[in-house]
């Protein structure tokens, strides 16, 4: 039993050794091969006169690196019983007494370089097909350069055949790639095209299809990666060639029209100088220029090349015959040196006359109103007043207007009596108070403002409303304009985007002016000549000539002119307030004629509108 067990063990060990020996070779017989007389069936390096020749049995590839092979087997320097691939890493030269290379299967030549095969009968004797590709060239010498084999030729292969020589050259490869950087000098890492196509030897490279890349324009093909030399598509090519794409970054010039009509962005190539300076339109404004910054401090330089995306900003000037600087003041400004203020270029002021408590709802007078009014008038400033409202309905708005009229006591105003209509806020900007809690709709806001204005005009003054742009845009501005009441816009910015009508603009809440030691609100006034008074009629009533005319929105008042029989026109009366649209001329002759013009006050002087048509008295 022991001998049997030992015999079985010896047999198993022998089988294991056999398996191990077979595992050292390919599992499939690759076909025998001899190179320079040395068998390399299982792989290895052949003896060469120069260079190296290495065979890989797994891939059946013979790699020649500048190799010269002179030994032979069966009259051939290279003899293969199966398929063979020769890969050239440089030129290869093999000569045998009969054939340079004998292959009993298919012969494939690849890589870069020339494989020269020579023999007395043939350069190559191949039972299968011969294929040449990559940048390889096959050069065959012998009485029959290629024996037995069938040459696999593509339309782009180049074949030269004489009596004892055949040359086969695979097509050129044309590579398409990117330059090292775009036109702005930014590297294009990770964005290489990695595309190629074949080209027959001796032909010029055709223009490839124009590539595309997001954010770039294609700038042409170049012969070098540094994009210094444009590629010449006229030259014939006999070697692989690379085309390098030039990419030009697209830069966008955007236009912020700042309330004007929209201007479409313009696209330019990096480094270009803009070729257009659009002039947008904006109702009620004149376009001034494009600026480089949102603060409108630096005009944009149109001669500079664009090296990145830019936005330019439109600057506007509101249409007006006269533009004036002003402030608004309350007790918070303390004692004011009105003469110094006037000398600093301030021409008008709105004074807080009073306010309604945002919690109690009580009506209160500003502690400094009287002294401020006397000082401002004495300094020659145009004066208006405002009342900080918290009215939650039309009745309260009318009550506030009557309070203003009572406190004015008929004093002259060059500017309107204004309802300051805004929500109260705390130090953090949060809204609070009775008006905020009332939650009025936009229609109710407008109705409250109109009730105040109508009551003020009934008292012989011109009325207006101060409000922020959000409230004005929410229907209040349109309602006031339709009713003919001026708007005082509150929008603290370098330039407002509000496109509704307004005659006054509070553009800052932290201004500095001479004569006031605290921050102060800064305002602009836009003055236009009053419209011509229309609808003038004159009727004889109870021994008086009674005149009536259409209201002119926002004016300070009217001047009445009379022409007695056989005399010219002369001023006979001045009326304050835009709503003062009638006048009774007692004791006047029934044959008198009349004209009326509207007036606004500008720095103590009248700016008069066009005289109305002449009205003759009707009996």
Asked if 386 contacts 328 with a C-beta cutoff of 8 angstroms, the reply is yes
- CA dist 277 and 437 (Å) reads 49
pLDDT at 185: 82
Asked if 400 contacts 419 with a C-beta cutoff of 8 angstroms, the reply is yes
Whether 322-527 and 537-618 share one fold: the answer is: no
Where do the domains of the chain lie? 33-170, 173-313, 322-527, 537-618
CATH number of 322-527: 3.20.20.80
Asked if 160 contacts 139 with a C-beta cutoff of 8 angstroms, the reply is no
The model's pTM is: 0.74
- Within 10 A of 32 (CB to CB), how many other CB atoms are there? 15
- CA dist 30 and 118 (Å) reads 25
pLDDT digits (tens, 9 = 90+) for 580-594: 999 999 989 999 999
pLDDT digits (tens, 9 = 90+) for 493-517: 999 999 999 999 999 999 999 999 9
The helix (H) or strand (E) run that includes residue 209 is: none
pLDDT at 4: 32
Q: Which residue has the higher pLDDT, 541 or 18?
A: 541
Asked if 176 contacts 150 with a C-beta cutoff of 8 angstroms, the reply is no
pLDDT at 352: 98
pLDDT digits (tens, 9 = 90+) for 36-50: 999 999 999 999 999
- CA dist 533 and 557 (Å) reads 11
- CA dist 506 and 202 (Å) reads 78
3-class state of residue 222 by DSSP = strand
Asked if 319 contacts 283 with a C-beta cutoff of 8 angstroms, the reply is no
Number of helices (H), then strands (E), in the chain: 8, 45
- CA dist 492 and 510 (Å) reads 9
pLDDT at 25: 43
Q: Find tokens 């060059």 and name the residue.
A: 414
Q: Which residue has the higher pLDDT, 18 or 108?
A: 108
- CA dist 103 and 482 (Å) reads 101
Tokens of 249: 């970054």
- CA dist 549 and 536 (Å) reads 4
Residues 111/114/120/126 CA torsion (nearest 10 deg): 20
The helix (H) or strand (E) run that includes residue 618 is: strand 615-618
Distance of CA 468 to the CA centre of its chain: 29
Which percentage of the chain shows pLDDT scores above 70?
95
Mean pLDDT, residues 171-195 taken together:
83
- Within 10 A of 430 (CB to CB), how many other CB atoms are there? 10
Answer CATH for 537-618 from 2.60.40.10, 1.10.3720.10, 3.40.50.720, 1.10.10.10: 2.60.40.10
pLDDT averaged over every residue in the chain? 92
Pairing of strands 241-256, 537-541: unpaired
The helix (H) or strand (E) run that includes residue 61 is: strand 61-69
Distance of CA 302 to the CA centre of its chain: 18
Tokens of 61: 């590839």
Q: Find tokens 């010269």 and name the residue.
A: 68
Asked if 411 contacts 373 with a C-beta cutoff of 8 angstroms, the reply is yes
pLDDT at 268: 95
């Amino acid at each position: 039993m022991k001998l049997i067990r030992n015999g079985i063990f010896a047999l198993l060990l022998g089988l294991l050794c056999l398996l191990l020996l077979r595992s050292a070779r390919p599992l499939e017989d690759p076909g025998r091969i001899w190179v320079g007389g040395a068998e390399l069936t299982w792989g290895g390096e052949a003896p060469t006169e120069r260079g190296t020749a290495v065979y890989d049995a797994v891939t059946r590839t013979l790699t020649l690196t500048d190799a010269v092979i002179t030994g032979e087997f069966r009259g051939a320097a290279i003899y293969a019983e199966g398929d063979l691939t020769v890969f050239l890493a440089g030129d290869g030269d093999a000569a045998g007494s009969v054939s340079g290379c004998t292959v009993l299967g298919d012969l494939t030549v690849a890589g870069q370089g020339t494989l020269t095969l020579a023999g007395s009968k043939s350069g190559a004797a191949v039972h299968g097909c011969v294929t040449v590709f990559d940048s390889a060239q096959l050069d065959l010498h012998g009485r029959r350069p290629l024996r037995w084999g069938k040459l696999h030729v593509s339309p782009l292969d180049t074949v030269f055949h004489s009596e004892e020589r055949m040359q086969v050259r695979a097509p050129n490869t044309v590579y398409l790639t990117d330059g090292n950087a775009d036109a702005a000098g930014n590297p294009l890492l990770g964005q290489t095209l990695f595309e190629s196509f074949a080209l027959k030897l001796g032909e010029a490279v055709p223009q490839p299809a124009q590539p595309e890349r997001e954010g770039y324009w294609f700038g042409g093909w170049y012969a070098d990666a540094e994009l210094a030399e444009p590629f010449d598509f006229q030259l014939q090519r006999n070697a692989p060639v690379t085309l390098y794409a030039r990419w030009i970054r697209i830069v966008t010039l955007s236009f912020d029209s700042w309330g004007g009509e929209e201007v479409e962005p313009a696209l330019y190539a990096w480094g270009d100088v803009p070729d257009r300076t659009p002039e947008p339109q904006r109702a009620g404004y004149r376009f001034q220029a494009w600026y480089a910054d949102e603060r409108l401090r630096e005009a944009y330089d149109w001669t500079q090349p664009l090296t990145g995306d830019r936005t330019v900003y439109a600057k506007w000037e509101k249409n007006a015959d006269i533009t004036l600087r002003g402030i608004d003041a309350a007790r918070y400004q303390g004692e004011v040196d009105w003469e110094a203020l006037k000398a600093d270029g301030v021409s008008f002021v709105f004074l807080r006359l009073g306010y309604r408590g945002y919690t109690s709802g009580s009506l209160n007078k500003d502690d400094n109103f009287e002294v401020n009014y006397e000082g401002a008038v004495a300094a020659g400033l145009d004066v208006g007043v405002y009342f900080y409202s918290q009215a939650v309905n039309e009745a309260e708005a009318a009550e506030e207007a009557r309070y203003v009229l009572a406190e004015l006591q008929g004093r002259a105003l060059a500017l309107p009596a204004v309802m300051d209509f805004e929500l109260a806020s705390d130090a953090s900007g949060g809204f609070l108070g009775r008006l905020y809690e009332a939650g009025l709709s936009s229609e109710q806001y407008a109705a409250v403002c109109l009730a105040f204005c109508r009551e003020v005009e009934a008292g012989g003054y011109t009325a207006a409303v101060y409000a922020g742009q959000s409230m004005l845009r929410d229907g209040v501005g349109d309602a006031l304009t339709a009713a003919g009441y001026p708007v005082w816009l509150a929008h603290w910015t370098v330039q407002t985007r509000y496109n509704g009508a307004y005659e006054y603009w509070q553009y800052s809440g932290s201004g500095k002016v001479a004569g006031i030691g605290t921050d102060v609100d800064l305002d602009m006034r836009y003055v236009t000549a009053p419209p011509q008074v229309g609808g003038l009629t004159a009727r004889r009533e109870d021994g008086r000539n009674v005149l009536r005319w259409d209201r002119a929105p926002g004016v300070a008042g009217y001047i009445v002119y009379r022409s007695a029989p056989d005399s010219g026109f002369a001023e006979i009366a001045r009326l304050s307030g835009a709503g003062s649209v009638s006048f009774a001329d007692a004791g006047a002759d029934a044959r008198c004629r009349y004209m009326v013009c509207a007036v606004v006050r500008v720095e103590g002087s009248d700016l008069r509108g066009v005289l109305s048509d002449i009205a003759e008295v009707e009996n």
